[in-house]
Chains A and B, each alone.
Chain A
């Protein structure tokens, strides 16, 4: 197994560095272009979630991202240094007419992650939250 480790401060501008890494690694392992785009978006959402909700944008706290490649898959582990969370909502979120005027336009991120990767898991404790995303090299039934 090969690993690439990226640590970023909790500033959204550095999410672009992780995203660029995901782009390069996705291409390097031969994912189809559309799957690379899925990977970039899922990683972006998970990292932004770690920055905003995990580390609450405290600059001193880091987001650790480990890309692990093996023969079958690319696994991305995103870890924050927050206080953990009881519940993460992966349910489907759509733009709803009744919410447009109220400005409630957030919450798509976790749904997009769940829909774009082959599988995912999350674990959380008082020491932080770890989200693990997996994309398999061979095309699965995922659409």
Chain B
């Protein structure tokens, strides 16, 4: 069984990081943070939440590593396929200011 928590896809200036774990929480945070640290960001990096059913504050803290990495590199970070509940939570903690939502169709121009 694979322990991979994020699968990377690249095209042009875009990297899409598909989060594979359904639960972005204390238990998956270490692996997510490690991926964020090790990942080479692209000018446009997109976190794909299509498989994510749950995010808590420990998960948000882990996701913020991607915000830090992208800002350091001067890149743009987006989120896509975010559920309405998670959009609400991101808005509550103002995560959405640093990782705005993008629609999958908007990426088509880069393919």
Using a CB–CB cutoff of 8 Å, the interface residues on chain A facing chain B are 12-13, 15-16, 19, 34, 37-38, 40-41, 44-45, 48, 93-95, 97, 100-101, 103, 105-109, 111-112, 115
B contacts with A: majority SS:
helix
Closest-CB distance, A96 to chain B (whole angstroms):
8
Closest-CB distance, B85 to chain A (whole angstroms):
4
CA gap between A22 and B64 in the complex, in Å: 27
Q: Check if B71 sits within 8 Å of A109, measured CB to CB.
A: no
**A16 and B93 in contact (CB under 8 A), knowing A34-B85, A44-B56, A48-B56?**
no
Q: Which of B27, B55, B61, B65 makes the CB contact (< 8 A) with A106?
A: B61
Q: Which of A13, A15, A100, A112 makes the CB contact (< 8 A) with B68?
A: A100
Q: Chain A residues near B95 (CB, 8 Å)?
A: 95
Q: Check if B56 sits within 8 Å of A109, measured CB to CB.
A: yes
**A48 and B26 in contact (CB under 8 A), knowing A108-B60, A115-B92?**
yes
A contacts with B: majority SS:
helix
Q: Check if B93 sits within 8 Å of A94, measured CB to CB.
A: yes
Closest-CB distance, B20 to chain A (whole angstroms):
16
Q: Check if B64 sits within 8 Å of A105, measured CB to CB.
A: yes
Over the window 79-93 of chain B, the binary record of Cβ atoms lying under 8 Å from chain A Cβ atoms (1 yes, 0 no) is 000001100010011
Q: Which of B55, B67, B85, B94 makes the CB contact (< 8 A) with A94?
A: B94
Is B57 an interface position by the 8 A CB rule?
yes
Q: Check if B94 sits within 8 Å of A100, measured CB to CB.
A: no
